[in-house]
Amino acid sequence: MNQIRQMCEHPGRTTLPTPCTYRADPDAIASGLSGCATAKPVPPPCHGGCHSFACAILDALPQQIAVLAADGAIAAVNASWRHFDSADAQAQAESAAGNDHDYRAVFPAARAPSYEQARAAAEGIAAVLSGQAPLFAQDYACHSPTELRWFSMLVTPLEGGWDGAVITHTDITARRLAEADLRIAAIAFESSEGMFITDASGTILQVNQAFTTITGYSAGEAIGQRPSLLSSGRHDAQFYEAMWSTIDAHGNWDGEIWNRRKNGEVYPQRLSIAAVKGHHGEITHYVASLTDITVSKAASDEIKYLAFYDPLTRLPNRRLLLERLRQVLAAGVGSGRYSVLMFIDLDNFKTLNDTLGHNMGDLLLQQVAHRLEGCLRQGDTVARLGGDEFVVLVDGLSRQAVDAARQTETLTTKILDTLNAPYMLGARLCRSTPSIGATLFHDGLPVQPEELLMQADIAMYQAKQAGRNGMRFFDQGMQDTITARARLEERMRLAIEQQRFELHYQVQVDQDGRARGAEALLRWRQDDGSCVSPAEFIPLAEETGLILPLGHWVLEEACRQLRAWQHDVLTRDLVLAINVSARQFHQADFGTQVCNSLAEHGVAPDRLKLELTESLLLDNIEQTIASMQALKQLGVRFSLDDFGTGYSSLQYLKRLPLDQLKIDQSFVRELVHGASDEAIVLTIISIAHSLGLDVIAEGVETDSQRVLLVQLGCLHFQGYLFGRPVPAAEFVALLTDAAAQGAALPLSFVQQC
């Protein structure tokens, strides 16, 4: 609604009419104010100055006052009225010309949205002038582009028998703004934050509902008390002295504090205190707002905790370990005392995790963490890097290297004994062993924590290589071995790219010396013509994953060779065996790879034999059986290599779709002179026959070994006695020579790589 005060300005403005600049006769107004009993019209306005006592009173009043005649014309205005409109020269000119002297005439012209208020004003004034209403009152806004203003209009009839009315406009802007401030303050005070107000001495005068919700104290219980009502006792006097010093210096304080609820619970709180000052700068009140940060602080603390600690075991993580290791290195400079860093890895943890489930694996890790903490002194560090890898940091050992090593051995013996004890994982009783690598350091050398971790890791790897469940110290020889291993890996990657690998074939014969098949053996020939031992590069290929591209190449090359052999009467009936690693076999698409290779080269599936090791049976046995059965249905054959050296379970063995068991050469080597080896070989042969499987012995080098194997029931052989592994051309030449001589193998063929 537009402002009534703007209703009667020049076109486009809607203020009240400009008050006239002439005045009524002073004597007439004076007698009217004195209350004459006879009704008389308002005397004509005077044009001179008003010096009467009545006029002086009107001019002294702060309100804007106008006197209307009975017809609504403005008869007189006071000084406040004239002063309010003095800035509008155009309005003064129109007033001097006698325009719109009837105060009521401007209201019908008021435009929306002020129309309703203007109409009410016009009707109210008319009702008072006609005697129909004893008075009329209305509040209205009179804003400008630069300020907000409000006024109150009061219309009352003239007394003393005079016809007309008095209109009073009072500026109520200050009151309206104060009321708005009070409403805003009331809304703010009842916010979600707890609030309380104290006087200058600290006595609580007022609290809001949120204060009661947070603290448990009602308004009646808190008002009149001091804020120490909430004290938790966790902060000393110096804390509060510092708080009030800040308030005195800056007028406010903000921070976290521990307070106590009415029920005694101590909780974290965000507290803000502001001093309220009077006109002369003196403190009159304190306003405090408080927020319960129990949840947010817990979340913040958890985030900070997770930055430095492992969430599963609650041990320090890698980040915190490296920080503590830097501190130990710095503190050790000049002390001469040794410290030790141990890298601990659980043996066969992946197998336990896969067979029992990750929840059981997590339980084991938590119990290992607890046991490790129990082995150490207060101040020592045990951390979890991830997976089943733990690190122990112990400083303050002897200044003598020999004594420090002895102290380390004592500690690792304690750790080994502790971690070897059985674990109760739910309802299961399980065992786990660790492999530990240790590296001693002193005088801040080496400088980099990461180098120490690498040394301990290398030593741990050596402990695993030595048979697990033991400890090894790091030495430079270990570093040299690792460096050589890294170089070999790089060379092997390059050899794969440059196709430096080839297959050699070792003949497999029956009891009559007739060739029945061959085993394809991978060879790596270097630029100088020498060969890298398979015992050197095969384990590395397994560890690095390079066995996958190598294994796929072997499969393709074997199928290509079988296709070539199909055109030769000497080789078309041979069965070619290739070795398949556990990692290769457990590929999701391994069966598809085999089928595609056989189909691409047009090879009958029963010409291919896959030799699997016993280690393959340790993981995912059900999936292994299903994969073997799918390939078996195609006609692919299976042989279990190195039987008797691993952990074969007869329960699983009878379910495997095998065609053959292969007696490991370690049993054949001492067969003639070792009764125990003979007993083992006889057992393997008996198991194979009982399961309806063929049996073949590898590593046969003498005729006495062959004769005894035949006597024990083994009728298939492979070894240097019959032929060494040779390239394909030389392999065919061996068979050709035997056929030409009309003789069975062995022949005196000794070509080797």
The three state secondary structure string of 566-617 is: CCCCCCCCCEEEEEECHHHHCCCCHHHHHHHHHHHHCCCHHHEEEEEEHHHH
Percentage of the chain modeled with pLDDT above 90: 53
Mean pLDDT across 515-536: 92
Report the pLDDT value the prediction gives residue 719, as an integer from 0 to 100: 95
Strands (E), 94-234: 136-141, 150-157, 165-171, 194-199, 204-207
Mean pLDDT across 568-582: 94
Domain of 374, CATH number, reads: 3.30.70.270
Is a pLDDT exceeding 60 seen at residue 23? Answer: no
Which residue would you say has higher pLDDT here, 119 or 511?
511
Phi and psi at residue 615, to the nearest 5°: -65, -25
Is a pLDDT exceeding 90 seen at residue 146? Answer: no
What pLDDT digit, counting tens, does each position of 366-419 carry? 999 999 999 999 999 999 999 999 999 999 999 988 888 889 999 999 999 999
Q: Give residues with Cβ within 8 angstroms of 497, minimum separation 6.
A: none
Assigned domain for 699 exists: yes
Assigned domain for 488 exists: no
Any idea what DSSP says for residue 344? E
Q: Which long-range contacts (CB under 8 A, 24 or more apart) does 30-34 make?
A: 30/54, 31/160, 32/158, 32/159, 32/160, 32/161, 32/162, 33/159, 33/160, 34/160
Tokens 């003095």, residue located? 86
Give the angle 2-7-10 at the CA atoms, nearest 5°: 125
Instruction: Please give the Cα distance from 14 to 4 (Å, whole number).
Output: 7
Q: How many CB atoms lie within 10 A of CB 146?
A: 5
Mean pLDDT across 223-229: 93
Of 16-20, 240-244, 470-474, which gets the smallest average pLDDT?
16-20
Torsion sign, CA atoms 411, 413, 415, 417: negative
Distance set, CA 711 to CA 612, 675, 708 (Å): 27, 14, 5
Given 408, 439, 474, the domain boundary residue is 474
Mean pLDDT across 458-486: 84
Which residue would you say has higher pLDDT here, 111 or 325?
325
Report the pLDDT value the prediction gives residue 280, as an integer from 0 to 100: 81
Which residue would you say has higher pLDDT here, 135 or 481?
135
Report the pLDDT value the prediction gives residue 279, as an integer from 0 to 100: 78
Do 518 and 598 belong to one domain?
Answer: yes
Mean pLDDT across 464-470: 90
Of 167-171, 180-184, 381-385, which gets the smallest average pLDDT?
180-184
Count: domains in the chain: 4
SS3 (DSSP) at 701: coil
- CA Rg value for the chain: 52
Q: Give residues with Cβ within 8 angstroms of 126, minimum separation 6.
A: 72, 104
Q: At 124, which helix (H) or strand (E)?
A: helix 115-129
Do 639 and 675 belong to one domain?
Answer: yes
Assigned domain for 683 exists: yes
Report the pLDDT value the prediction gives residue 185, as an integer from 0 to 100: 66
- Please report which confidence band the pLDDT of residue 101 belongs to, taking 50, 70 and 90 as the band edges: low
Do 104 and 208 belong to one domain?
Answer: no
Given 249, 270, 298, the domain boundary residue is 298
CB 74 within 8 A of CB 101: yes
Strands (E), 379-514: 381-386, 389-394, 423-425, 428-430, 434-442, 471-473, 501-510
Do 601 and 699 belong to one domain?
Answer: yes
Phi and psi at residue 157, to the nearest 5°: -75, 155
Of 31-45, 158-172, 558-572, 621-635, which gets the smallest average pLDDT?
31-45
Distance set, CA 82 to CA 65, 206, 330 (Å): 9, 46, 87
Is a pLDDT exceeding 50 seen at residue 221? Answer: yes
Do 651 and 573 belong to one domain?
Answer: yes
DSSP codes, 18-44 = PPPS-EE-HHHHHHHHHT-SS-BPPPP
Do 123 and 194 belong to one domain?
Answer: no
Mean pLDDT rounded to a whole number for the chain: 84
Greatest C-alpha distance within the chain: 165
Mean pLDDT across 327-338: 87
Report the pLDDT value the prediction gives residue 606, as an integer from 0 to 100: 96
Find residue 206's DSSP bridge partners.
197
Do 202 and 329 belong to one domain?
Answer: no
Assigned domain for 448 exists: yes
Phi and psi at residue 24, to the nearest 5°: -75, 165
Q: Could you check whether the bond before residue 157 is cis, i.e. omega within 30 degrees of 0?
A: no
* Residue 699 Ramachandran class (φ > 0 left, ψ -120 to 50 alpha, else beta): left
Do 14 and 154 belong to one domain?
Answer: yes
- Please report which confidence band the pLDDT of residue 39 belongs to, taking 50, 70 and 90 as the band edges: very low
Is a pLDDT exceeding 80 seen at residue 476? Answer: no
Distance set, CA 4 to CA 16, 82, 629 (Å): 6, 17, 99
Q: What is the identity of the amino acid at 57?
A: I
Q: At 246, which helix (H) or strand (E)?
A: helix 237-250
Of 125-134, 669-678, 679-688, which gets the smallest average pLDDT?
669-678
Listed residue (549, 570, 567) closest to 505, CA to CA: 570
Is a pLDDT exceeding 50 seen at residue 529? Answer: yes
Domain of 725, CATH number, reads: 3.20.20.450
Q: How far apart are the first and last CA of the chain?
A: 107
Do 16 and 144 belong to one domain?
Answer: yes
Report the pLDDT value the prediction gives residue 589, as an integer from 0 to 100: 93
Domain that holds residue 420: 313-474
Domain of 247, CATH number, reads: 3.30.450.20
Report the pLDDT value the prediction gives residue 184, as an integer from 0 to 100: 65
Assigned domain for 482 exists: no
Given 145, 177, 209, the domain boundary residue is 177
Assigned domain for 486 exists: no
- Centroid of chain to Cα 534: 45
Do 261 and 370 belong to one domain?
Answer: no
- Please report which confidence band the pLDDT of residue 47 belongs to, taking 50, 70 and 90 as the band edges: very low
Do 651 and 558 belong to one domain?
Answer: yes
Do 70 and 173 belong to one domain?
Answer: yes
Instruction: Please give the Cα distance from 318 to 449 (Å, whole number).
Output: 11
Q: Give residues with Cβ within 8 angstroms of 119, minimum separation 6.
A: 107, 108, 110
